[in-house]
Amino acid sequence: MKTTLAKESEVQRAWHVLDATDKPVGRLAVQIAKLLRGKDKPAFAPHLDLGDFVVVLNAAKVKLTGAKETQKLYSSYSLYPGGLNQKTAAQVRAKHPEFLITHAVRDMLPRNRLARTLFKRLKVYAGAEHPHSAQKPAALTA
């Protein structure tokens, strides 16, 4: 029996739409990361780009369980002394609701060049409207 690897020219990329309303961030991010990497396909290989496009709607309505809304901190550092910035999840949601999902998905992808190309296929929108209707995305339920 011979092992075959998919070629870049043979990959069929589908478009998926996920509604994030009242879904936990982590569970949604796992599902998105699997679709972006192509782990749902039989020809999956960790070094190949077989993933699909993912459109996430209603990112502002995503659910954070427990006390994460007030206790979870998102940090950034400017590399200057005293340059540590920390914001709670509630502050991040008020200004950039898409960041909650994109941050969780980015952390679930591998840290390499392939992940950067996979991440470009993720489209996250705070509301229910998106400009990708021409691609005829299929709605996913979970």
Prediction pTM value: 0.92
Structure tokens at 104: 């969780």
SS (H, E, C) 50-119: CCCEEEEECHHHCECCCCHHHHCEEEEECCCCCCEEEEEHHHHHHHCCHHHHHHHHHHHCCCCHHHHHHH
Q: Is the pLDDT of residue 94 over 80?
A: yes
Q: Is the pLDDT of residue 71 over 90?
A: yes
CATH code (residue 30): 3.90.1180.10
> What is the mean pLDDT of the segment spanning 105-109?
97
Q: Is the pLDDT of residue 103 over 90?
A: yes
Can you give the pLDDT at residue 51? 94
**Domain presence at residue 24:** yes
Can you give the pLDDT at residue 142? 61
Q: Hey, is 21 helix, strand or coil?
A: coil
Residue 34's domain spans which residues? 14-64+97-139
CA 63 – CA 73 distance, rounded (Å): 16
- What's the total number of domains in the chain? 1
Tell me which DSSP letter residue 19 carries.
E
Q: Is the pLDDT of residue 20 over 90?
A: yes
